[in-house]
Amino acid sequence: MLDIRLVRDQPDFVKARIATRGGDDARKIDELLAIDAERRKAETQLQQLNGERKRLSKEIGGRRSRGESSDELEARVRAIGDEIGRLGDEATASETRQRDLLLRIPNLPHADAPMGKDASDNPVVRSWGEKPHFDFPPLDHAALGSKLKLFDLERAAKLSGSGFICFTGAGAKLERALIYFMLDLHTREHGYTEISPPFLVRRDCMIGTTQLPKFEPDMYGLEENQMFLAPTAEVPVTNFHREEILAAPDLPKKFVAYTPCFRREAGSAGRETRGIIRVHQFDKVELVKITRPENSYEEHESLTANAERVLQLLGLHYRVIELCTGDLGFGSAKTYDIEVWSPGQNAYLEVSSCSNFEDFQARRMELRFKDADGKNRFCHTLNGSGLALPRLFAAVIECGQQRDGSVRLPEILLPYFGAAEIRRDA
RNA sequence: GGUGAGGUGGCUGAGUGGUCGAAAGCAGCGCUUUGCUAAAGCGCCGUACCCCAAAAGGGUACCGAGGGUUCGAAUCCCUCCCUCACCGCCA
């Protein structure tokens, strides 16, 4: 959520920044300002009337205790009360409209964000390692998975419909090995505190991390309970300290959480549907930071590096791209995507998206800290996958495949998986 | 799911219709005294929003949330949320 005062003071600046995203959200700014003026006008009048009522009511109390008549005063206050009721409704309506609108206006891209229209304009920031070479035609993960019985999509569909995965045997074990490996790495070497949060969250939390109200059609909700299946651990973990005022020395807070993620993927039917690349439920290890505003961009770099470390230790080739203004997510000011190489798809797969939301989420969830002057200020929030599982899983088996159909696993997984290879007969 | 008790400022806790944004204590900040520490004394010490070009200053709201009664609500009524205790059910 943008700071209404910033919008008020520098509307042209705000409009220009938002316009870089494309779309017509900049138009909403004028509407917002109109509502804001209306709201403040009603509020000011309301406050004057409230003051008057307060004064007169005290006067009534005084007169009554002295045994004097207060009839004419009571009539006046009653009339003021009616007016207060009317104006109050007006003020509340404006307030609601303002908030609703504010919740649907995206964050301002960072001043240095690369300009661009869509994903094709995203610059590559760096890459690591090299594409593996095969002296045989490599299979994609779907073929490998079914040959080695690592997952069973047909039977998963029987249980839950298309777009669900059922890992089996060595596949289930490999998934678990990857999760354990990543959690250990981030807790032991990168200093994150592990969180195992609820997967069902309240509406307010979904608003806090910007999934709602705009993206409600993409979310799984439980109508009667007004709860939602978290589409990412970002939701429960970032909201962990919502409506709190943290002590400055306690920042940054660094959390890592492994959770399943639930997404309707409405409207993406037919895209990337082969195998386990795009599904309704997947596992993910997520990194979340709550920082002071001054150093959130440093923390953003290190968070991204922490996520990259996973791929480096697994020996998987990847590249990091920065999202251009046109491709940036709704709440993000700056985002790096990490993409691992998939020989089977002959393409890079997004396995992590590391974003700095600045105070955009914090303002929505009233997440603050007390600075050295004793003033309450909004924190900055960041998150990034560290990493998303099905795609990482796909890259691991595709890159490790051998001519005989077996898969050689990265050495670092040996203590977690208990074997160096996955063979057909296993 | 049932019954009961509760939700007041950073914390403890008083307040059952009017002058209560809220006693008191603790914690915190500042000053005085002091060789230093300790102790004591005095003062300050919530949040949000609005008015004002800004500062100074002024105002309004907020006692879990929302509605209602009333001239006036922390206080009375209703609904909901949450916490605690016991009972039932269940992995």
Stated in angstroms, how far is A41 CA from B50 C1'? 9
- List the one residue out of A168, A142, A127 whose CA is nearest residue A401: A142
Q: Are A106 and A25 within 8 A, CB to CB?
A: yes
- The catalytically annotated residue of A350, A377, A406, A408 is A350
Residue A335: is it exposed, middle or buried by C-beta count within 10 angstroms (0-12/13-18/19+)? Answer: buried
DSSP per-residue letters across A364-419: HHT-EEE-TTS-EEE-EEEEEEEEEHHHHHHHHHHHHB-TTS-EEPPGGGHHHHSS
Percent of chain A with pLDDT over 90: 67
Fold of A119-422: BirA Bifunctional Protein; domain 2 (3.30.930)
Q: Which residue in A242, A3, A33 sits closest to A107, CA to CA? A: A3
Catalytic entry in A39, A263, A363, A368: A263
Residue of A322, A358, A391, A398 marked catalytic: A391
Residue A278 annotated to the active site: yes
Question: For residue A270, what pLDDT is reported?
Answer: 61
Which positions in strand B are less than 7 Å from the protein's CB atoms?
Answer: 10, 18-19, 47-51, 59-61, 67, 70-72
List residue ranges whose Cβ is under 7 angstroms from nucleic strand B: A 4, 40, 43-44, 46-48, 50-51, 53-58, 60-62, 64-65, 74, 77-78, 81, 92, 245, 374, 376
- The count of other CB atoms within 10 Å of the CB of residue A220 is 15
CA distances for A180 relative to A177, A262, A267, A310, A382, angstroms: 5, 21, 33, 12, 23
Q: Which fold has domain A4-103?
A: Helix Hairpins (1.10.287)
Taking the domains of chain A in order of start, what are their residue ranges? 4-103, 119-422
Interface pTM (ipTM) of the complex?
A: 0.82
Residue nearest to nucleotide B72 (CA to C1'): A57
Interior/surface letters A91-117, b for 16+ CB within 10 angstroms, e for the rest = beebeebbbeebeebbbbbbeebbebe
Render pLDDT for A353-388 as a digit per residue (tens, 0 to 9).
999 999 999 999 888 888 877 778 899 999 999 999
Query: pLDDT tens across A100-141, in order?
Result: 899 999 999 999 999 999 999 999 999 999 999 999 999 999
**CA neighbor of A141 nearest in space, from A310, A381, A340:** A340
Torsion of CA A165, A168, A171, A177, to 10 degrees: 100
Report whether pLDDT(A257) > 70.
Answer: yes
